[in-house]
């Protein structure tokens, strides 16, 4: 129940802040623009003959927008609370740290889910003219949500380390970007190194989802990544508390 | 209700609190006094459960906050220094959030919020955002959240800091009214404030306890001395010598517009000094007894820890 109360307060703070509406607008405009260009490309290049389907392009683009926007949603979660001094107050209520972390995580993930739900408009539009296969698309959106959860958890952890929202956002970009590009420089690293690194890349984990395939290994990795970040968040809070830092 | 034994807290190499022991009984209203940086806030944060002590034991309503943190926090309403707030939440919505966190059952929640809104005279601004309120109202919102859930212990950290004199009186009256059968532990760096609100005062300086007792007891620790102020129309040096010879006078000090005599306990210096002056034919322009100001006691306590020096 306290988790729910904490999540409700976070949502209330999101929905009363101008930043949320600005970011939501940017997200939906970018998603719409990507959909427009992807659809154009798909139609001009002969659609069905392409190796990748329309939705695969679109899902991969949505993933990139998430990378750009999620750190801006997560940066305030703990940093703002610390700056305002309200974290000190939260710590005097009969609430566990785990409840605080869970409440913030759930609220921020709900915001990401709402934004993703907004992009369901695009398949709905196509479905009026053309048959859209729902199952692979659902798998893709499921993957986006899992990836979103991983991003949110990572941002939450970084936000618990600082009282500056700017630092929180910048560091989250750094970490997420690293997990994206970790497999890019294939030529420079050996096969074995690449073999070890590929499983670590958050973004490589998403390709199967974009194709409409749910691989339990990918699901497990994303869930583990999220859980680890949440555990680190708890640890960060606890350490700061024992040291007497608020 | 609150028991603290040998409490210490250090931040790195800095000892914020070094071996403080005291207790606050049920229904008592106790002032926690000390200059800025004495360790008041650190002590109160430990009592409220913000962080654990480096060493020493704390009992809140008989419980150990390290073992039963949630139960202890439920017994305490805490008002942190500067009353932090979420600027974008509305007053009533914020208090509903606090009521949920304090696990007030749904059926009683609306009532509990209405009660604290009324107790802190916040009904008129219940639907305003906290960030748009004046400082005085924000402090009241801070008190309202501490009061929410009717905790038996209130820990208030400098609730009147940064307010104008009118607001200070308002908050002070509010604290007095809120008291009821609660235990109130109230910190301040202004002695007169503590003296008007509290029955007992605990004085802390540089992380250590330097005095404890009622304001009267604290004065008594200075040796129950009194001070007599006298202004005489006569040759200054001779008057001084004559007064110093009066039985019971410990010290004569020249002050602007007269002389101050420090008198021993129980001596009737006013009468004796008056008689001595009359004998020599000098007229007395002014003669009165002056209480040694609490501020002076406080300063002596915190400046060296030994009130008799």
pLDDT score of A41: 85
Which residue in the set A94, A96, A242 is minimally distant from B103, CB to CB? A94
A97: contact with B, CB 8 A cutoff: no
pLDDT score of B221: 65
> Which one of A141-145, A186-190, A241-245, B187-191 scores highest in mean pLDDT?
A141-145
Structure tokens at B305: 């820890």
CA atoms within 13 A on the CB side of A222: 24
Q: Is B209 exposed, middle or buried (0-12, 13-18, 19+ CB in 10 A)?
A: buried
Question: What would the pLDDT profile of B150-187 be if each residue is shown by its tens digit?
Answer: 899 999 998 887 777 887 888 888 887 777 778 999 88
**CB within 8 Å of B275: residues ≥ 6 apart:** none
Q: How confident is the model at residue B188 (pLDDT cuts 50, 70, 90)?
A: confident
3-state secondary structure of B222: coil
- Subunit contact B89:A13, Cβ cutoff 8 A: yes
Q: Give ipTM to 2 decimals.
A: 0.85
Q: Give the CATH fold of the B2-220 domain.
A: Rossmann fold (3.40.50)
pLDDT score of B92: 93
Q: How confident is the model at residue B219 (pLDDT cuts 50, 70, 90)?
A: low
pLDDT of residue B289 exceeding 80, the answer is: no
- Subunit contact A93:B48, Cβ cutoff 8 A: no
Rg (CA), chain B: 24
* Cα A225 to Cα A24: distance, rounded to the nearest angstrom: 25
B138: contact with A, CB 8 A cutoff: no
Domain ranges of chain B: 2-220, 226-291
* Cα A153 to Cα A158: distance, rounded to the nearest angstrom: 9
pLDDT score of B306: 45
Q: How confident is the model at residue B307 (pLDDT cuts 50, 70, 90)?
A: very low
Question: Spelled out in words, what is the top-level CATH class assigned to the domain B226-291?
Answer: alpha beta
Cα–Cα nearest to B173, from B139, B212, B201? B139
pLDDT score of B275: 85
Question: What would the pLDDT profile of A172-215 be if each residue is shown by its tens digit?
Answer: 999 999 888 877 766 666 777 777 777 777 877 888 888 888 88
Which residue of A238, A244, A245 to mutate against B (max B Cβ within 10 Å)?
A: A244
pLDDT score of A160: 93
Q: How confident is the model at residue B112 (pLDDT cuts 50, 70, 90)?
A: very high
Sheet containing B258-263: order of strands: B249-255, B258-263, B226-233, B283-290
* Sign of torsion over alpha carbons B210, B216, B221, B225: positive
pLDDT score of B60: 92
* Cα B190 to Cα B306: distance, rounded to the nearest angstrom: 20
Domain ranges of chain A: 2-242
pLDDT score of A187: 64
């Amino acid at each position: 129940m306290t988790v729910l109360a904490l999540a409700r307060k976070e949502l209330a703070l999101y929905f009363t802040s101008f930043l949320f509406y600005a970011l939501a607008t940017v997200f939906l405009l970018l998603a719409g623009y990507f959909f427009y260009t992807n659809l154009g490309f798909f139609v001009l290049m002969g659609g069905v003959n392409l190796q990748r389907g329309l939705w695969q392009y679109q899902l991969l683009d949505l993933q990139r927008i998430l990378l750009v926007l999620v750190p801006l949603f997560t940066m305030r979660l703990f940093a703002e609370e610390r700056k305002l001094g309200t974290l000190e107050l939260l710590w005097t209520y009969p609430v566990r740290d785990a409840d605080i972390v869970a409440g913030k995580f759930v609220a921020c993930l709900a915001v990401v889910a709402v934004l993703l739900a907004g992009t369901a408009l695009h398949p709905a539009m196509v479905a009026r003219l053309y048959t859209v296969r729902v199952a692979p698309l659902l798998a893709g959106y499921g993957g986006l949500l899992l990836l979103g959860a991983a991003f949110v958890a990572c941002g939450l952890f970084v936000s618990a380390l600082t009282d500056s929202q700017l630092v929180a956002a910048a560091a989250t970009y750094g970490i997420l970007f690293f997990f994206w590009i970790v497999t890019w420089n294939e030529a420079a690293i050996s096969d074995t190194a690449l073999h070890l690194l590929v499983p670590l890349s958050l973004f490589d984990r998403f390709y199967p989802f974009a194709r409409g395939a749910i691989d339990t290994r990918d699901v497990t990795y994303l869930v583990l990544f999220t859980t680890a970040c949440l555990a680190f968040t708890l640890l960060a809070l606890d350490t700061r508390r024992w040291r007497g830092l608020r | 209700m609150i028991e603290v034994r040998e409490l210490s807290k250090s931040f790195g190499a800095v000892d914020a609190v070094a071996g403080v022991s005291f207790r606050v009984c049920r229904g008592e209203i106790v002032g926690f006094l000390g200059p800025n940086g004495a360790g008041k806030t650190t002590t109160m944060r430990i009592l409220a459960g913000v962080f654990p002590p480096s060493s020493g034991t704390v009992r809140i309503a008989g419980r150990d906050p390290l073992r039963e943190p949630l139960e202890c926090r439920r017994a305490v309403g805490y008002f942190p220094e500067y009353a932090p707030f979420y600027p974008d939440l509305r007053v009533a919505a914020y208090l509903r959030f606090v009521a949920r966190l304090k696990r007030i059952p749904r059926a009683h929640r609306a009532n509990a919020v209405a009660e604290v809104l009324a107790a802190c005279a916040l009904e008129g601004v219940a639907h305003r955002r906290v960030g748009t309120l004046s400082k005085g109202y924000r402090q009241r919102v801070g008190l309202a959240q501490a009061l929410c859930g009717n905790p038996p212990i209130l820990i208030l950290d400098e609730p009147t800091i940064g307010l104008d004199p009118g607001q200070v009186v308002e908050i002070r009256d509010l604290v007095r009214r809120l008291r009821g059968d609660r235990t109130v532990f109230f910190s301040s760096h202004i002695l007169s404030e503590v003296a008007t609100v509290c029955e007992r005062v605990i004085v802390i300086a540089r992380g250590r306890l330097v005095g404890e007792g009622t304001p009267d007891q604290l004065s008594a620790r200075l040796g129950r001395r009194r001070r007599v102020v006298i202004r005489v129309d006569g040759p200054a040096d001779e008057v001084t010598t004559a007064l110093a010879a009066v039985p019971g006078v410990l010290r004569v000090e020249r002050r602007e517009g007269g002389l101050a005599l420090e008198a021993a306990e129980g001596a009737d210096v006013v009468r004796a000094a008056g008689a001595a002056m009359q004998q020599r034919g000098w007229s007395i322009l002014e003669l009165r007894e002056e209480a040694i100001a609490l501020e002076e006691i406080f300063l002596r306590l915190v400046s060296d820890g030994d009130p008799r020096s």
